[in-house]
Amino acid sequence: MKKRFFILAASLLMICFSFSMAAAHCQIPCGIYDDQMRTDQIAQDITTVEKAMKEISTLSRQKPVNYNQLVRWVTNKEEHASNIMNGVSLYFMAQRVNPDQKQYTEKLTVLHKLLQSAMKSKQSVDLKHVGDMRSLLKEFKSLYFNDPSDQHK
């Protein structure tokens, strides 16, 4: 019994560890990924969340409801909203936005709002959250890429 529990616990730990490493990249400043690519990926994820919301709304009105497709679009929306949250928190907030940068507080505030909008987009199909995410990403890019004190260009 103890052996089975140990094997199960070790397997779960390995799965969780593997997923977090694959999803987050690493937190070593290797320079493989660039900041523009990260913001472009967030923009693409926002577009995917928007498409998923529209598909969910359309599928929900059909008679009979195709629950298989509905679940697939909900899962897709959740995944891309999580991608946005990971990009914001694990890449920009953890690694790229630093206290010694100009407009630090403004950058963190916009990122936090973007993080919250992504979280809210997981909870509903309200397209307002997509609009909020787009405008917040635009605001962040303006703050981030127009800051001459940053060394990310």
Domain extent listing, the chain:
32-145
pLDDT recorded at residue 147: 72
pTM for the model: 0.79
Contact (Cβ atoms closer than 8 angstroms) between residue 17 and residue 49: no
Where residue 62 falls (left for φ over 0; alpha for ψ -120 to 50; beta otherwise) is: beta
Question: What residue has token string 């307002």?
Answer: 128
Residue with tokens 């997981």: 122
Architecture of domain 32-145: Up-down Bundle (1.20)
Divide the 153 residues of the chain into consecutive groups of 10 and give the mean pLDDT of each group.
52 51 54 85 98 97 94 97 97 92 96 98 97 98 82 53
Task: Give me 25's structure tokens.
Answer: 């990249």
